[in-house]
Chain A
Amino acid sequence: MTEAILIMLTLGGVCGAVLSIASKVFYVYEDPRIAQIEYYTAGANCGGCGYAGCSAAAVAVINGKASPNVCVVGDAESAASIAEIMGLDAGSVESAISYNTCKGGERKEEKFSYIGVATCKAASSLYGGKNVCGVGCIGMGDCVKACNFDAIKIGEETIPVIDSNKCVGCGACVKACPKNILSVKTMSERLLEFNNIDGKLAPCSQTCPAEINIPKYISQIIKGDYQGAVNTIRERNPLLLSCGRVCPHPCETYCRRGIVDDSVSINQLKRFVADYEMNSGKRFPITCAPDTGEKVAVIGGGPAGLSCAYFLRRLGHSVTIFEAMPTLGGIIKYGIPEYRLPKKVLDWEIEGIVNLGIEVKTDTKLGRDVDLQSLFASDFKAVFLGIGAWNDYALGIDGENLKGSWKGINFLSSVANGRKITIKEKKAAVVGGGNSAIDCVRTLVRKGAKEVYIVYRRTRKEMPANEVEIIAAEHEGIKFVFLAAPTKVIGNKNGEITHLEYLTMELGEPDASGRRRPVPIEGSETTLEIDMLITAIGQSPDISFIDKDSDLKELKTTRWKTIDNDPLILQANLPYIFTAGDCATGPSLVVDAIGGGRRAARSIHLYLTQAEEEESENKIEPVENALYKKHIPESIFETLEGVVKKPRVTMPELPVEERIKTMDEVDLVISEKEALTEADRCLDCCRICYNKETTETQA
């Protein structure tokens, strides 16, 4: 007994001593993080990560060659722990799974029969593969073979189907695919993804300024996955309720179905799912990447600012919105009348965005309440300017400032703010042909104006306002005065407006914009009897703050008083300033501002995350091969075979008699059944393939 204890004591002691001395004598410095990271890997030495064992993988993480989620077996927890050790941007820790972006499958057409090595790589190296579509799936299943987790199979339509339960997002399939139809992206990467000229994109998606994946959400609607559809839209557009109401949907112009009959009512479908969420009584959760600790100031709480703040927040940055007005919303709050976009709806939507953890400072104006100095002092690293365009252009004619004369935006926001304006029984004229002009006239009608004119210097065909809006205005009894250029406002001695004098025009040669330039007819002066005049001929940003802020002296502007920026990366000449929305582009669509906000968010994200590495170079790389505001020529068809005509769902709206009395919402949401019918009209287009409808399947 004693012997045993003694022997073991000696043995243990000797071994312990030898080891501890040896560890001192033979000490070699090794990054302590290697051991720590290895501790968190699964320890199975499975090789799934592509490194020779867990220890090698740990070294790769330390050297920055692998990301914290290198271990494909380990769960999110271990990845988070590793990221913590590395002190890395934890944004990349989010779990990712593989997505198939090609919808070709069986409907794709082939240009030849292929004999030979049955792998996608081999097939694609001969003339890009047998498909007519140069970018689509080849369908020989290289991805299936590459997957170590049995998560991919070639589905019935001969395109890969991914089992999201088994996929670990290792990316082996992405590497195997010669056509890049698979993508493994984290949420952050997906949020920052931009349409690409090599993309598998339907014409509608190419057109949408916010780059929403339209076919995807429509097919989700068909499947009844409304939440999925909402999430799909939210990856690109946080303001889906608003856009569903006010977006002029340029996407529908390019809808292939429109070649045969009417385009799919894409925006209605968006509105349908957006309203579905709102009416469902709960908010679908929105996930955000872990906090990065970087602070960004967003100046302006309009669509661009909200969009930018939303994406930055989802990328994990801390965002503060500074809004000059008492509430957020900007132009869509103050410039779009209640009957088009009820304030209740907008507030609900903005609340959802702010709830992600965005700090809001209202009644705070740049140049008045804050300046760059104070922002930098509060640790803001980048500034987004989304201040909109709030200065109405003046007509520049006599009598413009008489009593009863308004500026468009000013008028609309006054109405929105509930200021008392006497409109009842007034005769009003609105100068301009854009959407704000129409908004003004329709507001006037609802506020009880007796007669409402719209005075526009070209013809109806050239009116930039949305067609539906014009039609609605016509229905509501607006009188249109075309080819009229106001020359003078005539007032009485009280300084009140009595008449508007204008010249009649005729159309001349087309100008640079392709519209025929109006030429005044000499001596055709006519007067119109009015007592209220609203000029809505366009706006420019209010950039008065530049002069008030010494730090902003250098900020370049354009001759339209917009802030000059790189049109692709939206960085101003001061590297920490990014702009988007109307203040950068001049008055434009809401959805343009939203898309701009997202692009700015990407740039800011890169600016913040790259800044440490390359202090000297603040230039951000533009998105490679971006399809910004372009179309892929081969995807634009002129004829379409195999499509059976089906009528478009008509949008329900309030009857004219009712709607002109109140500011209630005019356009109503379509029913679920109608939404499904409409969604079913979608041809589920990809770049060049689409679902052919045969009469047989209809029967």
Chain B
Amino acid sequence: MLKKPCFNLTKHKLEYESVKEFSSSILEVPLSEKSILFFDVSQEVEIKPDDPLSVKQDDLLKTGEKFLPFKDKSSKYLTSSVTGKISSINTFQSDYGKKYISITVNKEKEEIVCDKFSKKSKEPTIANASEFLSCIPGGISENILSNTGEIKTLFVCGTDNDLFSVTNQYIVSSKIESLKKGIEILKNITGIDNIILVVNKYLEQTALNAEIKTEVINSEYPSSLPKLIVKELLNMELPQDKSFIDIGVDFISAEAVAAITQAYNTGKVPVDKIITFVKKDGYKLLAKARIGTPIKNLCAACDTAIDNNDRLIIGGPMTGSAIYTDDYPILNNTDAVIVQAADNISRTSDYPCINCGTCVMACPARLSVNILVRYLEAGLYEIADDEYDLSACIECGLCSYVCISQIPIFQYIKLGKYELAKIKAKAAEEVDD
């Protein structure tokens, strides 16, 4: 799949994995002693990581209990996935300015499931969904839960964004009934009429059999990136200065839909996440773990030892991110975890761009990557954006994948976007002054 064909007049093809190639068994990861809950504080402008929290050490959390870390400042909440006492609270600096509050919970012997949800949610309503379900596995966007009526079309992604991962496909193939019911629930509570299940060709039949409104997309990477789904199914390119919500579109993963069904069926907030795990030798398996389980427990359960100079990747191989500590927890959107052995790691080089144009041919966003990357290397982010459409990049990573000089183009682009945002924010600030 990752080999370059001998003769290539056409561009490189990367096919998505098919869930059918997986063994149907799913590995259950045992509950870990310590779980870590991440609360994202980078989006909230007014919250600073060192603001006082409304929870503190030694507070007891129940499984499925929701709590608001910054009660006074933000209504965003976290759902505890285990029962236990908070043992420490730290800040965690992630990439590109992202910051989390990490709350470590020590498992109590006996698990107590919080019953607030079951009490309040006999009937599915948008109110109780938004009150309890924003942290379900797979994640659900605020726009869906706030029910402002802007969303006209909701795509349920039965495809996985990135290569290797089959998490959502697994849900479609194994829980199609639950998915169907979840879509009904969503229709009822949000009032969105046009909910479409998006699958690729591997699962077309499954979806058709279940009689769900389905669209089939290309099975070639990166066609299941949101922007390309919109392009393929709605035949429009998302304008650069608009967001999906502006054109009345939103996405939800199949896993989240199934989780909604599960929540209302059982009266418990779902806390288990399905993860595609890729071992060092490339063997892939599916695992089920609590949200908040440290990666090292997942690895241990999958018989994979982490050594020095290995690479631990959260997410897929094209768009994921490498982490530096195996204490990092599984989050509600962690679809895949990849472990690469030290001697199997593709390196980058500091070769200059040789202007071969392969990236230009590969780029689904039609960027002049060859020139763009030079401006980015020189740190001229504004020119890169004004003249070479930096912000039009849809972040698929194909340019770096095909680059003959092995330039970390994708990193340059991400960095460029990040720095550009900073420059613009600063300029806006100056205008305000």
Interface positions of A (Cβ within 8 A of B): 111-113, 115-119, 121-122, 125-128, 130, 134, 176
Contact = CB atoms under 8 A, between A and B. Distances in A.
A121 B95 CA distance: 12
Interface stretch (B180-188, B216-224, B233-241, B410-418): B410-418
A628 B76 CA distance: 32
A127 B350 CA distance: 21
B331 to A, nearest CB: 16
A111 B411 contact: no
A113 B348 CA distance: 13
B347 A115 contact: yes
Contact of A117 (B321, B345, B347, B412): B412
Interface in B51-105: 93-97
Contact of A116 (B309, B348, B419): B348
A555 to B, nearest CB: 33
Interface string B102-119: 000000000000000000
A127 B94 contact: yes
Interface in B388-423: 408, 411-412, 414-415, 418-419
B22 interface: no
Nearest to B418: A125
Contact of B324 (A112, A117, A134): A112
Contacts, number: 41
Interface in B13-60: none
A118 B93 contact: no
Given A111-B324, A121-B419, A127-B324, A116 B93 contact: no
Nearest to B321: A126
7 contacts: A115-B348, A116-B408, A116-B411, A119-B379, A125-B96, A127-B95, A176-B379
Interface of B: 93-97, 309, 321, 323-325, 345, 347-348, 350, 379, 408, 411-412, 414-415, 418-419
Contacts of B408: 116-117
Nearest to A146: B379
B315 to A, nearest CB: 14
A85 B41 CA distance: 48
Contacts of A127: 93-95, 323-324
Given A111-B324, A111-B325, A116-B348, A122 B93 contact: no
Contacts of A176: 379
A115 B348 CA distance: 7
Given A115-B347, A121-B419, A134 B93 contact: yes
A115 B419 CA distance: 20
Contact of B415 (A117, A128, A130, A134): A117
B378 to A, nearest CB: 9
B309 A128 contact: no
B95 A122 contact: no
Nearest to A114: B324
A55 to B, nearest CB: 22
Nearest to B345: A115
A116 B408 CA distance: 6
Nearest to B347: A115
Nearest to B95: A126
A86 to B, nearest CB: 20
A173 to B, nearest CB: 13
Given A125-B95, A128-B93, A176-B379, 20 more contacts: A111-B324, A115-B347, A115-B348, A116-B348, A116-B408, A117-B408, A117-B411, A117-B412, A118-B350, A119-B379, A122-B412, A125-B96, A125-B414, A125-B415, A126-B95, A126-B321, A127-B93, A127-B95, A127-B324, A134-B93
A190 to B, nearest CB: 24
Nearest to B92: A127
Contacts of B347: 115
A325 to B, nearest CB: 45
A126 B414 CA distance: 11
Nearest to A197: B50
Q: Count chain B CB atoms within 10 A of each CB in A118, A121, A126 and give the residue with the most.
A: A126
Contacts of A130: 324
A176 B415 CA distance: 14
A130 B93 CA distance: 12
Given A111-B324, A116-B408, A116-B411, A125 B97 contact: yes
A130 B325 CA distance: 12
Contacts of B95: 125-127
B324 A122 contact: no
Contacts of A126: 95, 321
A121 B94 contact: no
A554 B347 CA distance: 70
B309 A113 contact: yes
A130 B348 CA distance: 17
Contacts of B97: 125
Contacts of A113: 309
A121 B415 contact: yes
A621 to B, nearest CB: 13
Nearest to B414: A125
B415 A122 contact: yes
A113 B310 CA distance: 10
A610 to B, nearest CB: 13
A118 B347 CA distance: 13
